[in-house]
Structure 1
Amino acid sequence: MLESTLRPAHGRKPAAKRVLVVGGTNFDIVVQTERFPEEHEKLRGGTCWTSPGGSAANTALGLARHGCAVTLVSAVGDDALGRVCLDELRAGGVDTSLTRIAPATRTSMAIVFSSGAGKRMMTFAGADRDAAIGAVTADEILALDHVHVVGDITPPLTRLVALARRLGRSVSVEWNGRDMSPLAGSATLNLMNADEARNLPGAVAHDPAVTAQRYAESLSAEVIVTLGPDGALWASPGRPPLLVPTTPVEPVDRTGGGDAFNAGVIAGWLSGAPPTECLRRGLDSAVHVITKRGAHP
């Protein structure tokens, strides 16, 4: 675990950890419904709302709420939806100076069907963030403490992660349904949910703890897996996995719950908290989000 070489003067609070979050920003349309419509059926949803979203943007806002100084590397289109997303990010304390406004391009969108107990999502590609990722410099990485990445493995993202490691910055990787092993080989934190762990190459069916431990050993890194109502687990090389239960709640909308969990875990880890406390912070953050409407309550 990285420790800051700068120690605060007596009586002063430690400086906020500086985090670079890299990944997508969406404009979300969320429909609350208990089931999906049948063929030719016009099903009336219970509630509909819109909200800026995207895993990276959600996590950036969550980290800012935890007191981190956050800069987002992303892209939005040069349109009204992109401006709404940027306004909310800035209002939430996120620095968007490295977020690109792509000309003649629309902002990415997601349509989410939320039933409280679960969700289904369709996404629509918009502004390409590779140009923004590729423009990040060594000086910009040296000015921060940690890099968190979400998204497909592209040459710009691979370059950025390699540069961060070369400069001695810690890295976390959100797997988000992808096998991120090529980036995660020396990543400090690898974050995924139980469904994602279940679909990994070599996964042990119905036993995410064993799967997480195998990946922790093979990657020589930390692997953190959310287990829905069963809490979350933390696997470290050479140690038995830790399991922390969550608070039983009745979910209202699960959108952004995993991103809130990631923000809590990363913020806790950067503060020097032990894994059990990091998991608790992540789980409490997720509960706060999923018991309210929208990813940014």
Structure 2
Amino acid sequence: MRQPNIVVIGSLNMDIVVEAPRFPQVGETITGTRAHFIPGGKGGNQAVAASRLGAHTVMVGMVGDDAFGGALTQSLADNQVVTKRVTKTSDAPTGLASIMIAHDDNHIVVVPGANALCLPENIEGLEETIAAADLVLLQLEIPLETVVASAQLAKRHGKTVILNPAPAQKLPLGLMQSVDYMTPNRSELYLLTGIDPYGDGLEKAIDALLEMGPRCVVTTLGAAGSVYKESGKNLVSVPAHHVQVIDTTGAGDAFNAGLGYALSIGYELDKAVRFAGKVSALAVTRFGAQAGMPTLDEVKAFALQLLQPE
């Protein structure tokens, strides 16, 4: 099987995760129990996930010229992600997410840092990289104008584009008309369409999004699995896999990378969505977004396990 070539254009963050027995009150200092420094950012997570599945993966993004930037770049390289398109800047620190966890809940503050400097001019030199790709994966943690420029460049070269519209925001029609597959969750679908995506509203919201331009909408539903619909076709539901959940961070990124990998190797859409569900299910059984991304062999073993009678 030919190795697929995937380009991921997006964010790189260091996640600073602090565990505590409870959240502090305003002005209060409490003692935490553990702290973790975890490579993250939706772009970085999706790049690592695609690479672990076996894709030749190029990451395009920006980090600060600091220790966190070096650690994030090294994490990508350790996972065989090509980092020659990751730019270091001295004009801003590396992006970070400050995450406090207590009682199975969390408070998160994201500081974009260098991600906010990943501008359209950074995309102008990607002609050769995009031309060599099978598929381009995009998210919304870098400036919107850069996402638009990336999608339009990919379409000029006839490449498949997946847009994971997170974090949710209103999008220009020019972007959505350059996207083949859009992968919102329910809340993102609601923000994009203004239609309550529960009950009968789910398909109505998906239809409204399809009318804006993408060829297909794949909506992730957490523990309920996912649904997908192509223009002019019926809605299809795909059930979730029941696993022991350790950490849901990066579950959506695993799904998007799995979908991109499967489409890149020629899977039909139904098989690709089901493959993505398996990748996501395995990812949540481990701690850490990038550390939890499964390999292709692990996904294959999981698929065989699902075929065994209980």
- Tell me the TM-score range normalised by the shorter chain: 0.7 to 0.9
| Worse-matched range after superposition: 38-47 or 61-70 | 38-47
Q: Which residue matches 2:138?
A: 149
Which residue of the other structure, out of 133, 144, 162, is the alignment partner of 2:152?
162
* Secondary structure of 1:192 counterpart: coil
Tell me, yes or no, if structure 1 residue 257 matches structure 2 residue 251. yes
Q: How has the CA–CA distance of structure 1 residues 290 and 222 changed in structure 2, closer, same or farther, with 3 Å as cutoff?
A: same
Q: Which amino acid aligns with 1:188?
A: D
Q: What is aligned with 1:219?
A: 213
Aligned to 2:204, the other structure's residue is in SS state: helix
Q: What is the match of residue 179 of structure 1? A: 170
Secondary structure, in 3 states, of the residue corresponding to 1:109? strand
Residue 274 of structure 2 is matched in structure 1 by: 280
State the TM-score, normalized to the length of structure 1.
Answer: 0.87
Identity fraction in percent: 26
Unaligned stretches of 5+ in structure 1?
1-12
Q: Is the 8 A contact 2:151 2:178 kept in 1?
A: no
- Measure, in 1, the Cα distance between the counterparts of 2:246 and 2:63: 28
- Structure 1 distance, partners of 2:102, 2:63, is 28
Q: In structure 2, how many angstroms separate the alpha carbons of the residues matched to 1:96 and 1:62?
A: 15
Q: Write out per-residue CA displacement over residues 156-189 of structure 1, whole angstroms, 9 at most, x where no aligned residue.
A: 4323321211111111111001233531213111
Deviations 1:237-288 (A, max 9, x none): 1111111111223432221111011111111122222333222222222222
Residues 100-156 of structure 1 show CA distances to partners (whole Å, capped at 9, x for unaligned) of: 011243100001234696644210121121167334332222122111112255444
Match of 2:75 in 1: 88
What is the root-mean-square deviation in Å for CA atoms of aligned residues? 2.3
Q: Where is the helix percentage greater, Structure 1 or Structure 2?
A: 2
User: Does the alignment pair 1:113 with 2:95?
Assistant: no
The answer to whether the aligner puts 1:195 opposite 2:184 as a matched pair is no
1:20 aligns with 2:7: yes
Q: Report SS of the residue matched to 2:161.
A: strand
Contact map agreement 2:193 2:205 (CA 8 A) in 1: no
Segment of structure 1 superposing worse, 191-200 or 48-57: 191-200
* CA distance in 1 between partners of 2:108 and 2:205 (Å): 26
Match of 1:129 in 2: 118
Paired position in structure 1 for 2:232: 238
CA apart distance, 1:201:
3.1
Mark the runs of 5 or more structure 2 residues left unpaired by the alignment.
293-310
Once the two structures are superposed, residues 28-80 of structure 1 have per-residue CA deviations (whole angstroms, 9 ceiling, x without a partner) of 01234576444455555554311110001100001101111111110000001
Number of aligned residues: 284
Please give the alpha-carbon distance, in whole angstroms, between the structure 1 residues aligned to 2:268 and 2:21. 39
**Does residue 1:99 correspond to 2:81, yes or no?**
no
- Which secondary structure does the structure 2 equivalent of 1:219 belong to? coil
Inter-partner Cα distance in structure 2 for 1:277 and 1:41: 51
Q: Give the direction of change, closer, same or farther, for the CA distance of 1:197–1:116 in structure 2 (3 Å limit).
A: farther
Which stretch of structure 1 is more off in the superposition, 90-99 or 31-40? 31-40
Contact preservation (8 Å) 1:22, 1:74: yes
- Aligned-partner residue type, residue 47 of structure 2: A
Question: Is contact 2:152-2:178 (8 Å) kept?
Answer: no
Alignment TM-score, normalising by the size of structure 2: 0.83
